[in-house]
Structure 1
């Protein structure tokens, strides 16, 4: 499977394409409670929330998102979806530290299939013979190498949502195999479509170093 750009959908490509109802959900929540629930900072007009090693400013009144490090960079739809949904819906549950696959979340076995399958083939294609390359990309995104599989890394998806990638390298007998893991309490911060967007963004940034926004 080719590496998919998470912003390649021309109908839902940019932050400004977010449904107005999502902004309404966020504006209907006490901002201090929203910030505390997901580990953001509220300055009176803007939430500052890190995502995969990059800080973003989310302005509910203006319905605007910007990258703190590169304000001129246009923010992609899936970045916006992840940030606004976790601000609007996070319950504040602390991470359990227990890794599960997205399919193990409630409803995940049905949801993460077909077009919503986690794009692990892209990881296998890019890093199946380059485990050190995966570690280098994870470190560049604020992650760390951990024990597990042939190569394993843990990354800061959101402040309350750590992510994992486990990789078994290809050899003469078996092809490469990758697994993306999420915290077992992820559903208390993001609905399943937000989790899918988060895995898309993770895999795209690991495999290409890019990703809009």
Structure 2
């Protein structure tokens, strides 16, 4: 699905110093093949700079990306992310500078994909989150954190609905996300999370 990604983004990554990328992200670089290898959400991906392609290292593995959003995130992560530890403070997308204006309309995070799948089945939500590598935390009716990368944890919260109120889901991000990702790349990541859990 790398055909959805502008080739100039690959060119920008090619211009980066591989040693700097490795230090910031913990990725690996094969200079013979001109390829980066990076772990994202428990899967290993290859970024092939010769062919302008992002793909799972092993064919048939990895997450199914939505319009290449995951691969766009991976490219930006390699280019720009900082090696700073998570703060442990959770914030919503609207707590991030500029987020209240950005995350609405066409950029509303599609958490309805999650509630549409699980509805009032809290047990199924827990089961699928564990299957996706989630670690339970004490928030909402059920909540799980996911290590997208070592410096980018994301929490998914779920409130079970009843006869008066529908089920509700919410994504939270570590406070340091504002230093790591611009809003459009954060949106791309959030969409991928919703599609992965809501599939």
| Partner SS, residue 55 of structure 2 | strand
Return the match for 1:68 from 47, 54, 57. Answer: 57
Unaligned runs of 5+ in 2: none
State how far apart, in whole Å, the 2-side matches of 1:188 and 1:60 are: 26
The alpha carbon displacement at 1:71 in A equals 6.0
Once superposed, which parts of structure 1, at least 4 consecutive aligned residues long, lie more than 4 Å away? 71-76
Per-residue CA deviation, residues 53-78 of structure 1 (Å, 9 max, x unaligned), is 22111122432222123269896511
Larger relative contact order, structure 1 or 2 (CA cutoff 8 Å, min sep 6): 1
Return the match for 2:16 from 15, 26, 29. Answer: 29
Mapped contact 1:128–1:168 kept (Cα < 8 A): no
| Partner SS, residue 188 of structure 1 | helix
Aligned length: 195
The corresponding residue for 2:173 is 182
Unaligned runs of 5+ in 1: 1-13, 209-213
- When the two chains are superposed, the root-mean-square deviation of aligned CA atoms in Å is 2.0
The corresponding residue for 2:123 is 132
Question: 5 Å matches for 1:1-213?
Answer: 14-44=1-31, 45-70=34-59, 77-208=68-199
The alpha carbon displacement at 1:97 in A equals 2.0
Mapped contact 2:116–2:198 kept (Cα < 8 A): no
State how far apart, in whole Å, the 2-side matches of 1:124 and 1:72 are: 26
User: Which region of structure 1 is more displaced relative to structure 2, 64-73 or 127-136?
Assistant: 64-73
